[in-house]
A and B are shown apart, each in its own frame.
Chain A
Amino acid sequence: MLVVASVLASAAVLAQGTVTSADLLKPSGASWPMYNGDYSGRRFSPLTRIDTTTVSSLTLAWVYRPNPGNAPAGGGGQTVVTIKGTPVVANGVMYVSIPDHVWAVDARSGRELWHATWPSKGGWHIANRGVAVLGRTVYVETPDCNLVALDTRDGREKWRTEICDLEQFYYASAAPLVVGNHVIVGVSGDDLDIPGYLEAHDPETGARQWRWLVHPEPGSPEAKTWPSVEAMLHSGGMTWGSTTYDPELNLLYLGTGNPQPVINGRKRQGDNLFTESIVALNPDTGKLVWYFQSSPHDTHDWDATQTPVLFDGTIDGQPRQLLAQASRNGWFFVLDRTNGKNVRSTEYVRTNWSKGLDPKGQPIPDSAKEPQTDGALVSPNQGGGQNWPPPSFSLQTGLFYANATRAFSVYYLYENEDDEKPQGWGGNDRGGWSEAMLQAIDYKTGTVAWSHTWTNSSAVRSGLLTTAGNVLFAGDAQSNFVAFDAAKGTTLWHAGLHTSMTNGPITYELDNTQYVVVAAGDSLYAFALRGR
């Protein structure tokens, strides 16, 4: 990676410090040291300076517009900056990324410290979800299948290593996760029928430590969910979502993506494990500990890569260690995170594609609502009830929040000579109508406790943040950034950005000032409540 601009004050360099494993296990309110803020995936901040009474005093602290420079983007054309990742804040420095670019920005003032760029060999530049930090190293994935380590102080490259095969049409977009001495990375790619996997790499050298393949071992019982070994080895099931971690159980949790071929599932009868599943892995060995399938035998591209959010709760009067996912297919799942057993399965938006639940609590697809050559009207659409924008769980209200979309489209299966052996996609959805609503879900019952339908908003692509001040931050599709009373769902404050929010908001406190930072298109907006 090349450092394009470096504007350093030596004081800023000395003040940066390092990030330790302890900092990641128990983040201070002065930081947001990983994609979801902490290992739980809750995006719930303990900060209380901003609360339901003070939020109306939020002011604009700064706006930062990263400049990608003049070099043309790989493949031609100019780089369009859309910030879809969550910034990371550690030791007073914020790290922001888009595909092939990382910027370090002072978290108090929004002034740029350095900018590193990557000359790309290809891969889909759909997004970069963010960086990870440990020690004095920033880790970032590139679309052309590299994991790159940069120095936090000046963005200089320390090392790079390949994490996927660009020639097979893999690419990489996920935010890495540091757990102990492992840098966990996920991969993407569904143009061809390639197997998904998750890897761990050494934080010092980049050497690969383990790889967990999303398909079962040939000959194992779960292999029976594929019609042949060849079909199974070309499973899909990409790992581009966010991984969460329970340090006491020492388990990683993630959701996997769609099976291959994506739309034409006629020659892959069976549940197609472990695609569209929530899985628990041992972070030191990469071995699978348990799985639950959010969407068996999916044919709608409903990647179940949404955050597996961890929290302790009460079910039927008993304390339980839980995990919840609001999945792309419109279903909300609550599981016991020690063993993957289902606790609740309910719809968080009305859907029309399933006919009940199997004995494990997994939805059963209605074959009539699989893609058809003359079209099937399906809800949700391919974009899903939830997509990549992150949810939030408030420890204060006990509610799981999903900024949801209720959508319809028509799924078509394409007839062609590939009926014998479909590959790739073999169909697609087309057109549609949708409405958007912020759902506050009671995990105990799986029902929606309160719902805020956004006026005149079709799909929303905004993530959520909750705080111990009982505030919930969200965005609509009309360029508004909004604060809600997290318990009641009443709106407390809003600001009109120049375009709609495009990432998940974060918060941190430095020098008695609590900042809330959100991205909209090419800009980062920092709002602040300054202490006396």
Chain B
Amino acid sequence: MNRCLVRLKADTTAAATVLMVLAVSTGFAQGPYERQRVDAAAADRGRALYAKHCINCHGSTAKGTDRGPDLIRSSVVLRDRLGNLIGAAIRPGANHQATLAANEIVDLSHFLHQRVEAIVANRNARGPLPVLTGDPESGRAYFNGTGRCSTCHSPTGDLAGIATRIADPANLQQRFLFPTLRRGGKQVEATVTVGQQPPVTGTVVRLDDFFVSLRDASGEYHAFNRGPGITVVVSDPLQGHHELLDRYTDADMHNVTAYLARLK
């Protein structure tokens, strides 16, 4: 992280405050590196100030009303650092009446930057997703009927307690739609036949248009360049799941999730 120690004077004649303005290094590193790092405690104080002085015109989420602009979309707020621009903008005048102390302006700036950061981060969910909208009985019927899940799975067998192991129903929904193979469980297998030779069957190590390699039941490694005279038959334990993606309705999906969520 880049760190610069910056001496900043707030808008009024209060004593200069020495503050750290740290570069933000996030997973999505958009925006300026040197943007304000939100101090949560200061933002809490700023929220109280906002509720007292700003909310009537700028709205409960700072997104504006017809009396005052959207502050998330404000160039002043986006460019502000620790109140240097916000302070000037809210000086008593035509639109603003309150006089805030220097430290209050800094707190307010932390709150407003916190609001911006919340929007910048909102491609990520902030809590569990409400996916339990389906009917579990319809889910059970699908499981045993159209979906043919019962050909491979059982609520008292491999799926017993699944909803305890996967407690978040959204994760449960994702898991049955898009399962992955686990180490130690079933794997993709292939049978390779070269000309008249006996076929070789094993767990796939690598497979593409040009090459296939396997480990057979004894652990022996076999590899082949693919081409004329070589047939490769692949067996994927998840094939049924992939094919269902073209057949589930959204109602089926929600019903199955609701059914699986009961298997605690």
Interchain CB contact (< 8 A) of A414 among B64, B126, B174, B250? B126
The tally of residues in B whose CB lies under 8 Å from a CB in A reads 55
Q: Which residues of chain A from 212 to 256 have any CB-CB distance to chain B below 8 Å in the complex?
A: 230, 234
- Whether A76 and B2, one on each chain, are in contact in the complex, defined by CB atoms closer than 8 angstroms, is yes
Stretch at the interface among A22-30, A153-161, A167-175: A167-175
State how many angstroms separate the Cβ of A146 from the closest Cβ of chain B: 13
- Whether B174 and A431, one on each chain, are in contact in the complex, defined by CB atoms closer than 8 angstroms, is yes
Q: Tell me if A511 counts as interface (CB < 8 A to partner B).
A: no
- Whether B29 and A75, one on each chain, are in contact in the complex, defined by CB atoms closer than 8 angstroms, is yes
The answer to whether residues A414 and B122 also contact, given A76-B2, A476-B209 and a CB cut-off of 8 A, is yes
Stretch at the interface among A12-20, A101-109, A122-130: A122-130
Interchain CB contact (< 8 A) of A377 among B63, B64, B250? B250
State how many angstroms separate the Cβ of A450 from the closest Cβ of chain B: 15
Question: For B129, what are the chain A residues with a Cβ–Cβ distance below 8 Å?
Answer: 373-375, 412, 414
- Whether A428 and B123, one on each chain, are in contact in the complex, defined by CB atoms closer than 8 angstroms, is yes
- Whether A168 and B61, one on each chain, are in contact in the complex, defined by CB atoms closer than 8 angstroms, is no
- Whether A76 and B209, one on each chain, are in contact in the complex, defined by CB atoms closer than 8 angstroms, is no
- Whether B29 and A166, one on each chain, are in contact in the complex, defined by CB atoms closer than 8 angstroms, is no
Interchain CB contact (< 8 A) of B208 among A412, A430, A457? A457
Question: For B174, what are the chain A residues with a Cβ–Cβ distance below 8 Å?
Answer: 410, 430-431
Q: Which residues of chain A from 28 to 78 have any CB-CB distance to chain B below 8 Å in the complex?
A: 74-77
Task: Type the 1/0 row for A404-418, where 1 means its CB is closer than 8 Å to any CB of B.
Answer: 000010101011111
Q: Tell me if A480 counts as interface (CB < 8 A to partner B).
A: yes
Question: For B224, what are the chain A residues with a Cβ–Cβ distance below 8 Å?
Answer: none
The tally of residues in A whose CB lies under 8 Å from a CB in B reads 65
- Whether B73 and A191, one on each chain, are in contact in the complex, defined by CB atoms closer than 8 angstroms, is no
- Whether A372 and B73, one on each chain, are in contact in the complex, defined by CB atoms closer than 8 angstroms, is no
Stretch at the interface among B7-15, B31-39, B97-105, B191-199: B31-39
Question: For A76, what are the chain B residues with a Cβ–Cβ distance below 8 Å?
Answer: 1-2, 23, 25
State how many angstroms separate the Cβ of A530 from the closest Cβ of chain B: 25
State how many angstroms separate the Cβ of B28 from the closest Cβ of chain A: 7
The answer to whether residues A191 and B33 also contact, given A167-B75, A416-B126 and a CB cut-off of 8 A, is no
- Whether A122 and B34, one on each chain, are in contact in the complex, defined by CB atoms closer than 8 angstroms, is yes
- Whether B33 and A234, one on each chain, are in contact in the complex, defined by CB atoms closer than 8 angstroms, is no
B interface, over-half SS = loop
Q: Tell me if B254 counts as interface (CB < 8 A to partner A).
A: yes
Q: Which residues of chain A from 346 to 360 have any CB-CB distance to chain B below 8 Å in the complex?
A: 350, 352
Please report the C-alpha to C-alpha distance between residue A377 and residue B70 in the assembled complex, in whole angstroms.
34
Q: Tell me if A262 counts as interface (CB < 8 A to partner B).
A: yes
State how many angstroms separate the Cβ of A413 from the closest Cβ of chain B: 9
- Whether B25 and A478, one on each chain, are in contact in the complex, defined by CB atoms closer than 8 angstroms, is no
- Whether A480 and B126, one on each chain, are in contact in the complex, defined by CB atoms closer than 8 angstroms, is no
Please report the C-alpha to C-alpha distance between residue A191 and residue B31 in the assembled complex, in whole angstroms.
9
Question: For B119, what are the chain A residues with a Cβ–Cβ distance below 8 Å?
Answer: 191-192, 423-424
Task: Type the 1/0 row for B165-176, where 1 means its CB is closer than 8 Å to any CB of A.
Answer: 000001001100
State how many angstroms separate the Cβ of B138 from the closest Cβ of chain A: 14
Please report the C-alpha to C-alpha distance between residue A169 and residue B233 in the assembled complex, in whole angstroms.
50
Task: Type the 1/0 row for B229-254, where 1 means its CB is closer than 8 Å to any CB of A.
Answer: 00000000000011001101010011
21 contacts between A and B (CB under 8 A): A75-B25, A120-B33, A121-B34, A122-B34, A124-B29, A144-B32, A169-B120, A191-B30, A192-B72, A192-B119, A230-B70, A414-B126, A421-B64, A423-B72, A423-B122, A425-B122, A428-B123, A430-B170, A431-B178, A455-B209, A482-B209
Sorted nearest first, the 4 A-B pairs with minimum C-beta distance are A478-B208, A425-B123, A122-B32, A424-B119
The interface of chain B, by Cβ under 8 A from chain A, is 1-2, 23-25, 28-35, 60-61, 63-64, 70, 72-73, 75, 78-79, 116, 119-120, 122-126, 129-134, 170, 173-174, 177-178, 206-210, 241-242, 245-246, 248, 250, 253-254
